[in-house]
Structure 1
Amino acid sequence: MKQLKEDIDEFPFPFKSNDPYRFSNNSIPLNPPISIDVTSKYIEEIKLKRDLLKTVHNRCYQSTPDTYEAQWEVLNLVMHHLSDMYPDRFKLKKEKDHWSFTNLITNETESFIYRDNSSLTLEPLDVIGRHVQEDLLILMEKDNELYLEAGQLCFPGRWSLVFKLGMTFLEIHQPIPEFNDTGLGDKIRRFLLNLEAGNPFERLNWALTIGYHLDTSIETFHKWGHKQKEVTPENVGSLVHLRVERQKLFRLPKSNSILFNIHTYLLSFEDLVQNPEWRSTFYDIFTNLPDYILKYKGAYAYKDTLIEYLKKFQQHA
């Protein structure tokens, strides 16, 4: 019960009552302007991250040579946020360019010379990414366009870093229905281009997934894709999960790039229905979603089963 309470307390429920969901730019100013969240699942998720980086590193980490300046900025930002916000768990000591970062949870210390690539055994982004639950991505701005140029991505929501590396912002999001056709994509692209250093934003993105799987990369589709067909009235509550990504955007002043980080949360519907307000709000929104959104969010195949499951609780509310 303690873990369930923590899961619900930490879960960023993405919907508001009486607010129909459609694709939009729902970014809001990030307050407080902190890039990282440490939750009760820290140890579990860091272990999973590192296991993936050990076994399929090329799938989970990619970068281009011109991203080192931005990578050091990300390392700088995240280490300071961790040590400032969680001083009982992380320490950062600096003597001019000689830095020492200690993770008291894992009992590890990273010592290096700031901005000296040779002082690290891994690239800066790959180093700091192993100490946070978030996936970390770098968008480089070139000729008034944004390109995905580096990332440590262990928990993707049905996409591939290897495939998307080097793509523009609009190319990356091309699979989203109506994203480019309606002008929404260009509107968000212009919003990102105007993002200012010192004024970060955040947004919540959501989907449905089967089972407790943080890693739903395209490369592992054979492991989880078929499970949609396994949803039944008996197991829908335990099998179907609401997947929410808390996404944060920081303009990095020296490189003029953007840090896009993603903290992924999962909550089964048998746990979600324990919160009456969430249950009612989700039911109202879900039952009014058009099919094209249901398909994109991974819910079309079992939508009726999930609706019937939720309806039982609505009737007894």
Structure 2
Amino acid sequence: MTFGAGARPFAPARARFEIGLAPLDLADWLEIGPDLAEVLQEKDRLLASRHGDVFAALPGSESAQAETLALVRAWLGERACATHRVTPDAVTAAGRTVHTDGHDGLAPLDAAGRLVPEDLCLLEAGEGGYRLTAASLCAPAHWRLHEKLGHPMMGIHAPVPGWSDRLGPRVDRIFANLKVEAPVQRLNWGLAASPVTFTPEARRDDDRRMAHLTAGDAIDALWLRVERQTLRRLARTGAILFTIRTVMTPLAEVLAGQEDVRALLEALETLGADEQRYKAFGRYRAALVAALQARLASYSAG
């Protein structure tokens, strides 16, 4: 599975909402990338200005938070020596130091989220299934953390097409059977009108930007959003840690060749009405489809 940077996860076979899990080698658990300093700087800005919007934790989640922080520290110490300096009480990365011993009064998951580009979400078994009990979430795609905290998976993903009757039961089984020694990963994708990753509000800003989109400018105006998601069972607490690495790439850069153009066009044509509504493709689908068709025609003519 390709990591988020450079991924092309829009093959027609993936156009329909599917879980699409693949095994994860823990050596590749986190994706540091050349954008590390930029992503951590944006996290610092959000945590300073909108802390309540990007970090939240329920009482009782402290043990799972601490286990997560220990795992992140251990992985960075072993796999990210070029970018992170791990000491007994702190981690230094991108020119700033985060204390991981509670010295700064940070919750363990808050500290862990400041060390890596990934968003970190903890899910713990409870009434109604696995519930979101803590999260460091700086790149939400049109949802608000405080509205989902404490809710089970069924409530969190209710808007997803096919969740209640098809995907939800499968995810419940996956969570119940997830083994410590067998973490998994998947890719999710969408399109956006800007490279901004912190988008908790509704899509009204995208709607405004796309109101006059045409086939002539659709490819240059849009961005591909790829989320590389991982799931791993925590050995001590039994919680499930869900990580999300979000990468935004100009669509014009993604469509490097004829096969990329054809794959995206086929994906857009394969999506059902529910999937199109959920991804909000209706706002620009016609313009983008026309642009992709014109690009394919130019390849044929050339």
TM beyond 0.5: yes
CA distance in 2, matches of 1:139, 1:236: 38
Check the 8 A contact 1:12/1:246 in 2, yes or no. Answer: no
Provide the residue aligned with 2:208 in structure 1: 226
Cα distance in 2 between the residues matched to 1:109 and 1:68: 18
Say whether residues 1:251 and 2:246 are aligned partners: no
Whether the 8 Å CA contact 1:280–1:314 is kept in 2: the answer is yes
Pairing partner for 1:191 from 163, 170, 174: 174
Which consecutive residues of structure 1, in runs of 5 or more, have no partner in the other structure?
1-7, 94-98, 113-117
Q: Is 1:105–2:94 an aligned residue pair?
A: yes
**Cα distance in 2, alignment partners of residues 168 and 230 from structure 1:** 39
Whether contact under 8 Å (1:208, 1:242) holds in the other structure is: yes
Match of residue 60, structure 2, among 61, 66, 83: 66
The residue that corresponds to 1:146 in the other structure is: 130
Whole-angstrom distance in 2 between the partners of 1:253 and 1:20: 31
Partner of 1:12: 7
Shift of 1:278: 2.1
CA distance in 1, matches of 2:297, 2:14: 21
2:10 partner amino acid:
F
5+ unaligned residues in a row in structure 2: which ranges? none
CA 1:49/1:23 → structure 2, altered by over 3 Å: closer, same or farther?
A: same
Q: How far is the alpha carbon of 1:109 from its aligned partner?
A: 5.2
Q: TM-score, normalised by structure 2?
A: 0.91
2:198 counterpart of 1:215 = yes
Amino acid at match of 1:82: L
TM-score (norm 1): 0.87
Distance 1:198 1:101, change over 3 A: farther
Check conservation: 2:40, 2:116, Cα contact below 8 A. Answer: yes
CA 1:285–1:161 in 2, change beyond 3 Å: closer, same or farther?
A: same
Shift in Å, 1:67:
0.7
**Match of residue 115 from structure 1:** none
State the Cα deviation string for residues 59-105 of structure 1 (Å, max 9, x = none).
11110111111111111111111221111221324xxxxx2333243
Cα displacement (A) at 1:35: 2.9
Deviations along 1:194-241, whole A, 9 cap, x unmatched?
1111211001111111111111112x7554453332423343122211
Residue-by-residue CA offset, 1:230-286 (whole Å, 9 max, x unaligned)? 423343122211211100001111111011010011122211222433222111221
Alpha carbons of structure 1 residues 197 and 32: separation in structure 2 relative to 1, 3 Å = closer
Shifted more, 136-145 versus 154-163: the winner is 136-145
For structure 1, which segment, 270-279 or 188-197, has the greater mean C-alpha deviation from structure 2 after superposition? 270-279
Which residue among 242, 248, 256 is the counterpart of 1:274? Answer: 256
* Aligned mates of 2:29, 2:144 — CA distance in 1: 23
- The alignment status of 1:168 with 2:152, answered yes or no, reads yes
Deviations along 1:30-74, one digit per CA (max 9) or x if unpaired, are 124543111121111111111111111101111011111111111
Q: Residues of 1 paired with 2:128 and 2:180: CA distance?
A: 17
CA 1:41 to 1:312, structure 2 compared with 1: closer, same or farther past 3 Å?
A: same
Residue identity matched to 1:253: A
Q: Aligned Cα RMSD in Å? A: 2.1
Q: Distance in 1 between matches of 2:76 and 2:91?
A: 10
2: distance between equivalents of 1:165 and 1:208? Answer: 26
Alpha-carbon distance in 2 for matches of 1:104, 1:21: 37
> Percent of pairs identical after alignment?
26
Structure 2 CA distance for partners of 1:92 and 1:305, relative to 1, 3 Å: same
Name the SS for the 1:156 alignment partner.
coil
The residue identity in structure 2 corresponding to 1:127 is: A
Inter-CA distance 255–245: structure 2 relative to 1 (3 Å threshold): same
